Copies of this chain bind each other. A is one copy, B any other.
């Protein structure tokens, strides 16, 4: 599982989070022994191991914290009880996570008006849920999908949204400003939301937001609350992962041009001032209300050691 997460075979912040919860449950089952203290120690090792697999994914440690809290808050009297606690917490997380996307879809769809033309970037389950719900409510028919180089996740989004019945127009990333004039609202997903309301998402998101701002187009982010990053409260920057340059031009071209550097950052940061609202499963909030979510989820006093 760790390999699958690390190698990006498991993709998407939500799927990674659920995979981590399930990995913890399976690791718990696999424990052999009778000492509850040893079990807790073992599980903490597993948690640490999983955490290190994708250091930039905020949803991963949040999911692990959710599951591990069940052990920490009421230490089990027996290994059996501990296993059950982990199993139930993991299961609860998976249900919560899947439910969150559905609720986001419903809450977000209410933000749209009849006839709205929408643009999206990359593929996000939460953003797609909003668009599908808005389409079912008869509000949204047309959506521009950016191809999202280099991995072309836009093609996935185009297929998913087209299957959901929307009229999809696929465009190259560079055409974002050209088509922005026809757009009423933008919706994207998020990999992480920082304490100051900035959103980390697939590279290119910030430039869509900039072009939307320039044209007075509403820009929404759909994000489950376990993507809010408590570490940013203590000053940590969300690290930007650089992926394999071969995704951009292929290894042949790179080999043929040894003097040309090729850089492939996976994410960029959209500042809060370009974001009109973040749609979470707990409500539609201003990005500046991100600290409220963090405070509610993690408490103020737990920020510092």
Contacts and interface: CB of A to CB of B under 8 A. Distances in A.
A110 B237 contact: yes
Interface string A106-126: 111111010000000000000
Nearest to A168: B260
A158 B284 contact: no
A98 to B, nearest CB: 16
A136 to B, nearest CB: 14
A282 interface: yes
Contacts of A271: 276
Interface string A236-280: 110010000000110001000101111111001001110011010
A149 B174 CA distance: 7
Given A177-B210, A235-B284, 14 more contacts: A110-B237, A147-B149, A148-B174, A155-B249, A159-B257, A162-B259, A170-B249, A171-B262, A174-B268, A178-B203, A215-B215, A234-B283, A289-B291, A292-B300
30 contacts: A106-B235, A113-B237, A147-B248, A148-B174, A149-B172, A155-B249, A155-B253, A162-B260, A168-B260, A169-B261, A169-B262, A170-B248, A171-B262, A172-B204, A172-B248, A173-B173, A174-B268, A175-B203, A195-B283, A195-B286, A196-B285, A210-B210, A214-B216, A215-B215, A233-B284, A234-B284, A271-B276, A286-B291, A289-B291, A292-B295
Interface of A: 103, 106-111, 113, 146-150, 155, 158-159, 162, 167-181, 184, 195-197, 202-204, 206-207, 210-211, 214-216, 232-237, 240, 248-249, 253, 257, 259-265, 268, 271-273, 276-277, 279, 281-286, 288-292, 295-296, 300, 303-304
